[in-house]
Structure 1
Amino acid sequence: MLKLDTPINLDAARFFRWWSGELSFLVPAKLRKLLGASSEYLILTKDDDGVNAVYHNDEENRPLGYFSMDESGSQKRERLIESMPTLAEAKTILRLTPGQCLRKTLKLPLAAEENLNQVAAFEMDRLTPFKSDQVYYSARMLERSPTNRQIKAELVLAPRNKLDALLEELAVWGWRPDVVDAAGDSPIGAYDLLPEQYRPPRNPWPYRINLALAALIASLLIALGVLPIWTNRSIALDLEQEVKKASKTAKEVESLRQQVEDLVHQTRFLQQKKRTEPAMVDMLKELTDVMPDQTWLNGLQYRDHRLVVQGQSPSASALIGLIEASPFFQNTSFVSPVTKDMASGLERFQIASEVVNGRFSEKPAATE
């Protein structure tokens, strides 16, 4: 069943590696070597007594023999290089046997994919018997599981003291690997445990070619940016003169427009003030009109459109409806509970209401 809600994880770096690999056969072999993209490998495996060498390229996987770690093995190596000049350009890879390195499969959170080697170094003492400063290590992702938000990765490591001793022994007899990998079903060069001090000098040609291409691209970008500006320079100068001529008129128009806006704002402010601010005389007159007979006011407070009245009435509950029916008042309610005055027999009340401008209220006035 097709799941359209499944997230798509695009590894751009892996895609371009695959893409360049598929197109590499179109590039001549000499040019591939010049660019440092040779597909010829001299694969070495080391045991206690010597080195087993295999030549590998896109077409064949040819065993070259066994070379002992002594003078005879060194002479045999020199004769091999003389008979196969292509080995001088091939990348030498030392593949560590299971007894020389440790491979471990890890399950890590999905977020660890971005910094896989850093996470492996941080968790090294928990995942292996070693600390990160005791080993050379490399990790690569094998599988991604977005549903479980986990990744499956493989960690390859070798103790520093053993690998350093192994590389020094190889160097004595002329073997200097470009990459230290791990034997197994992983692709050639998937891991690189080679310490920095043993790395051969890099081929300067890829850097020079990339630098030349970068300079060419920068020149083209500069030309694309400068040429239209230079071509239209005369037009820009003419337009600048026209803008200067029109700037004075534009300033005068802007000044007049600002004056008009100020006048309109002042007029609207007065109109709005008149519509929103209730007149105290109107409010007091309306309050007097809506209060029934036998109702007495002992106190009145007005602030920020809010009116609070205190008094006594034969029926305080009826006052809410009378006040609310007026176009001058809205949102009328008791502020405190109604109590009864034992001396007068009237109900004491405290009522609050929001005062509006009754002259402009859309609320219809109560009819008698």
Structure 2
Amino acid sequence: MTAWQQGFRQVTAQIAPRAGHFLHWWRSSLLAWLPERWQWALGWAPARLLLLQQGDQLHLEREIGTQRVRVASLPWPCQPAAMAGALPPRLQRLPRYWLFDGGQVLRRTLRVPAAAAGRLLDVMGFEIDRQTPFTADQVTHDVRVLGDAGAGQLDVELVVLPRVRLEQWQQAVGSWADALSGIDVRDPSGNPLKVNLLPMPLRRHARNPQLRLELLLAMATLVMLLLAGNQLLHNRGQAADELRAEVERTARSARGVADERARLQALVDGARFLDGERAKRPTMLAVWNELSRKLPDGSFLEKIGVENQQVQLIGLSREANQLVPLLQESALWQRVNLTGVLQADGTAGGRDRFTLTAELRPAAAVTNEGAADADADHTP
């Protein structure tokens, strides 16, 4: 056995008795709200039939909890069959206890450890020869708990009936000895001690005539509970399937919305990128207008190319060597350079072929420079 298993068993051994005491207290507290007669009518309270023989009368009392009610009296001596006409069927089915006077038994009050509460009868069997003048095989005994003595101790009472008196009683009552479930003892005030001094082999176990019906009802209840549970599980499963299908439909719709949103976001990002790229340089219309203004008369462009921020100009001009300073004054570009050498056209016009490159300025810089030039022009 591992240390974990041993510890678990020790904890279980400590908790189980306390849980049992708590459940017993809880049940007793709930039943205390009902009258004892109602508890017995509903089958929730123990009841028994007490038989007390006094002189030529046999008194029959019904005991429910702490209440005792005399229900009939029979002339003594009589036979157990005489109760059939004196008691209703329900009372006849109650367990029957014969009451002895307190002077016929020996009683001793003892204090024992609370750990022995589950085996008090066996523990007290070893105390008989020390507490009474009899040995354990000469008596029949029972134990009742008087209360908690504190510090892990219990006060109990040992009740002993000599077997000699038991045999004398059996001979005196005759067939009644075989019709009883137990023998109880009256205290000096006439209240039963709630012990059973009848040996186990001699006790009559009352058979419940409605046991078969109760078992059938219990089985029917169990079957109905199983069917109800199965139906509940089926309904839960069906509801779960419907919820799963609804979730799947919602998920597909959500995925469609997410795809549309992604496409829209891509379009927005593309438009923003194009706007950004467009904002980085002047428009082609502005470039054409600026070239038209800056190029001198007699100049012609054969090719104009714009790639990223670079612009390339190829053409003919009579003032090709003056194009760089003329174009350098524009606010749309910067770093104007003449690529290669000027080549004479060879025609009567006297033009030279040129190739120029320039770097376009960002549109924001062009706007700011234009605004600054406008402010300078309007300065008085």
What is the TM-score when the length of structure 2 is the normalising length?
Answer: 0.44
Give 1 or 2 for the bigger CA radius of gyration: 2
User: Which has the bigger relative contact order, CA under 8 A and spacing at least 6?
Assistant: 1
Structure with greater helix percent: 2
